């Protein structure tokens, strides 16, 4: 096994991208994701890659679009307000069916909000990332090792399905250090016969999201959603923690899941059958796992640093067969294990 290195989540995701063959990074500064771009600025020149600080977030995402159109693995990163600015580019990436990777190290919002950790971009990540009908695959790392692993996974999935993959992190995961092992999990980029580039032996390729013929545009949309259906069928991921016999099922991702883990262990020691279902993909949401957990569950609790954004996904997944409670803090405040434990106890008394 390779040596464990202590590093920040922001650095681990950058290292994972570089080890996945990403040689094109376009960024714009914002706290709490700055270490990611800083790491890229040091490493990319050594790897003969491109690190470019764009003039804005909008420019950065469009540079990703340009790079991805040539078939290379490209990436950008930002934090909540900067992600909103990228919406237009995300829609164009989807309209062009281009693979790309985007990291969101979330902070409290809305507006400029604050710079402390948040999870209030759940909707923008999973439901409304931009105009038009499109989806992104959304990965939710639960620690610094997964920040690395998910970078590798993101480039694989992006190429496999020709989609943008968002790594939805938060200020805690970005800023904290934990030991990381760089596994041999790097995926080779597949052939991209659609990519732009000089090749006189083939017909010219066109990468565009403009289809003035409505029937052609409709057909594009239907084809795209067949691919999305494949993603939903194959790529939903989650991790269970004490889930098998759980009567109180906590659903939490990212930093919230880390907090909830303590509360669940404590609840178990008090005789409450609590467990956690931690979505690793937020889109596709692990619906079947939720439904299956609902068989033993009395209640679900969504622990999140947002105003109940994940609650509806859980309700839909369990087909409203179980009450879904909300346990949250927002605005940059992180829930404490005691608060989550309190909520678990209340749910157990329902």
Partner 1 sequence: MSREILIAGFGGQGVLFSGKFLANIGLLNNQEVSWLPSYGPEMRGGTANCGVILSPDTIGCPVVSRPDVLIALNLPSLDKFENAVKPSGHIFTDSSMISKKVKRTDVIVHNIPAAKMAEDNALSGLGSMIMAGGVISLLDGISDDLIESAMRKTVPKRKQALFDSNMKAVYIGQNAV
Q: By the criterion CB under 8 A, which residues form the site for partner 1?
A: 4, 6, 31-32, 114-116, 171-172, 175-179, 255, 258-262, 265, 334, 336-337
Put residue 168 in one of left, alpha, beta given phi > 0 → left and psi -120 to 50 → alpha. beta
Q: Which is nearer to partner 1, 64 or 259 (CB)?
A: 259
Q: How far apart are CA 34 and CA 10, in angstroms?
A: 8
Shortest approach of partner 1 to residue 174 CB, angstroms?
Answer: 9
Compute and round to an integer the Cα radius of gyration of the chain.
20
CB of 176 to partner 1, least distance (A): 4
Closest distance of CB 8 from partner 1, Å = 9
CB of 311 closer than 8 Å to CB of 258? no
Least Å distance, CB 306 to partner 1, is: 18
Q: Which is nearer to partner 1, 133 or 336 (CB)?
A: 336
Residue 206 has a CB neighbour count (10 Å cut-off) of: 10
- Both tokens of 329, joined, read 């803090």
C-alpha 312/C-alpha 282 separation (Å) is 12
- Let me know: does 284 contact 278? Beta carbons within 8 Å: no
Nearer to partner 1, 120 or 165 (CB): 120
Say how far apart CA 2 and CA 181 lie, in whole Å: 6
* Strands (DSSP E) found in 146-195: 164-170, 177-180
Nearest approach, Cβ of residue 5 and partner 1 (Å): 9
37 or 65: whose CB is closer to partner 1? 37
Dist. CA 77–CA 74, nearest whole Å:
11
Burial class (CB in 10 A: 0-12, 13-18, 19+), 341: buried
Element (H, E) at 35: helix 34-46
Which of residues 108 and 286 has its CB atom nearest to partner 1 in the complex?
Answer: 108
Q: Min. distance of Cβ 255 from partner 1 in angstroms?
A: 8
Nearer to partner 1, 66 or 114 (CB): 114
**Nearer to partner 1 (CB atom), residue 103 or residue 260:** 260
**Smallest distance from partner 1 to CB 114, Å:** 8
């Amino acid at each position: 096994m390779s040596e464990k290195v202590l590093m920040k989540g922001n650095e681990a995701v950058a290292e994972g991208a570089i080890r996945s063959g990403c040689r094109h990074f376009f960024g714009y500064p914002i706290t709490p994701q700055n270490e990611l771009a800083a790491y890229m600025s040091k490493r990319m020149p050594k790897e003969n890659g491109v690190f470019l600080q764009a003039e804005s977030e909008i420019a950065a995402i469009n540079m990703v679009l340009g790079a991805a159109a040539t078939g290379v693995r490209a990436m950008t990163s930002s934090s909540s307000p900067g992600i909103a600015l990228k919406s237009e580019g995300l829609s164009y990436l989807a309209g062009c069916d281009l693979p790309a990777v985007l990291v969101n190290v979330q902070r409290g919002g809305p507006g400029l909000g604050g710079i402390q950790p948040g999870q209030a971009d759940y909707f923008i990540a999973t439901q409304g990332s931009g105009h038009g009908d499109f989806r992104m695959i959304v990965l939710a790392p639960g620690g610094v090792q997964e920040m690395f692993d998910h970078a590798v996974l993101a480039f694989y999935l992006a190429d496999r399905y020709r989609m943008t993959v968002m790594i939805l992190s938060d200020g805690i995961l970005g800023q904290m250090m934990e030991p990381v092992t760089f596994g041999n999990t790097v995926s080779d980029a597949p052939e991209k016969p659609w990519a732009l580039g000089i090749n006189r032996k083939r017909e010219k390729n066109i990468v565009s999201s403009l289809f003035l013929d409505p029937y052609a545009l409709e057909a594009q949309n239907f084809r795209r959603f067949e691919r999305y259906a494949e993603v939903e069928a194959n790529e939903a991921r989650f991790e269970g923690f004490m889930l098998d016999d759980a009567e109180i099922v906590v659903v939490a991702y990212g930093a919230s899941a880390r907090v909830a883990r303590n509360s669940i262990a404590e609840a178990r020691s008090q005789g409450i059958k609590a467990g956690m279902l931690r979505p690793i993909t937020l889109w596709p949401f692990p619906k079947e796992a939720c439904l299956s957990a609902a068989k033993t569950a009395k209640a679900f609790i969504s622990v999140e640093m947002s105003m109940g954004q994940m609650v509806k996904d859980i309700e839909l997944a369990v087909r409203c067969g179980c009450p879904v409670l909300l346990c949250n803090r927002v605005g940059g405040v992180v829930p404490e294990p005691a608060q989550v434990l309190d909520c678990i106890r209340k749910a157990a008394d329902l």
